Amino acid sequence: MSEEFKSLVDQSFEKGLNPIWMYTDDYIYGMMAADESGGRWTEISYAFEMDDPLRTVERSADLSYQFLFEELEKGISFYIKDFNVLNLKNFGKSLETLSGPEKVKSLINELITNSSKYSDNFPIIKSAEESSVLKEKV
């Protein structure tokens, strides 16, 4: 299972669109493009204490955006006490007129580029070079 996860991490950086990878003490959460246009995204979670830790689900960009936003708002903010949900919501408002693919890409790029705007301790992987952090956890 962990080899499959490591393979997904590597593949996510080969798609041409930035993936997002975040981690907590209990799980790793990621989202990567399932196609070149960003019209479909694959959500990946790896829960450390589960018998079957790896879960993947492919969805449309619109649904993927909603799931990613909810993960940040409820999941990550639960673990990262200084996570600024208000900044996240304000950024989300600026995306309302965009298409689903553009919303996902914009949110991921914002979090990678301006992670300190959301938390001083944001556990986010910003590049393929940093992905070893994820692989060491599984």
pLDDT in tens, 14-38: 988 999 999 999 999 999 999 999 9
pTM comes to: 0.93
What per-residue confidence (pLDDT) applies to 1?
58
- The span from the CA of 103 to the CA of 112, in Å, is 14
What per-residue confidence (pLDDT) applies to 45?
96
Of the candidates 87, 85, 39, the residue with the CA atom closest to the CA atom of residue 65: 39
